[in-house]
Structure 1
Amino acid sequence: MKSSRDFLLGFITGVVAGILTAPKSGQESRQWIQDEADKRTKDLQDQWNKGVEQVKTQVEQVKSQVNQWTGKLQDEGEQKKEKYNEKVDNLADKAHEGVDAAKQSIKAE
Structure 2
Amino acid sequence: MARYDEYDDDRVVVIDRDNGTSGIGTFLLGLAIGAGAALLFAPASGAETRQRLQDEARKAGRKMKDMTDEFGEKVADSVQKTRFQFDEQVGRARDAVSSRVQAVGDAVSAGRDAATHARADLERAVADSKRAYADSRRAYREHGRRHGPDDTSAPDDMVASSGEESTGASSEG
Give TM class, smaller chain. Answer: 0.7 to 0.9
Specify every segment of 5 or more residues in structure 1 that has no aligned partner in the other structure, as ranges: none
What is the CA-CA distance between 1:23 and the residue it aligns to? 3.8
Q: 2:115 aligns with which of 86, 95, 99?
A: 95
Report the equivalent of 2:96.
Answer: 76
Measured in 1, the distance between the counterparts of 2:128 and 2:94 equals 50
Report the equivalent of 1:27.
Answer: 47
Checking the alignment, whether the CA contact within 8 Å between 2:39 and 2:49 is kept in structure 1 is: yes
Question: How many residues are matched?
Answer: 105
RMSD of equivalent CA atoms: 2.6
Measured in 1, the distance between the counterparts of 2:71 and 2:78 equals 11
- For residues 7-48 of structure 1, the C-alpha deviation after alignment (integer angstroms, 9 at most, x for no partner) is x86x93685276057442211111111111001000010111
Instruction: Say whether residues 1:54 and 2:67 are aligned partners.
Output: no
Query: What TM-score, normalized to structure 1?
Result: 0.78
Measured in 2, the distance between the counterparts of 1:15 and 1:35 equals 11
Measured in 1, the distance between the counterparts of 2:80 and 2:120 equals 59
Change (3 A) 1:103 1:63: same
Query: Equivalent pairs: percent with the same residue?
Result: 26
What is the CA-CA distance between 1:100 and the residue it aligns to? 1.1
Measured in 1, the distance between the counterparts of 2:82 and 2:48 equals 51
Letter matched to residue 67 of structure 1? D
Checking the alignment, whether the CA contact within 8 Å between 1:19 and 1:29 is kept in structure 2 is: yes
Instruction: Say whether residues 1:63 and 2:62 are aligned partners.
Output: no
Checking the alignment, whether the CA contact within 8 Å between 1:20 and 1:29 is kept in structure 2 is: no
Query: What TM-score, normalized to structure 2?
Result: 0.52
Letter matched to residue 47 of structure 2? Q
SS class of match (2:71)? helix
Would you tell me which structure has more helix in proportion to its own residues?
1
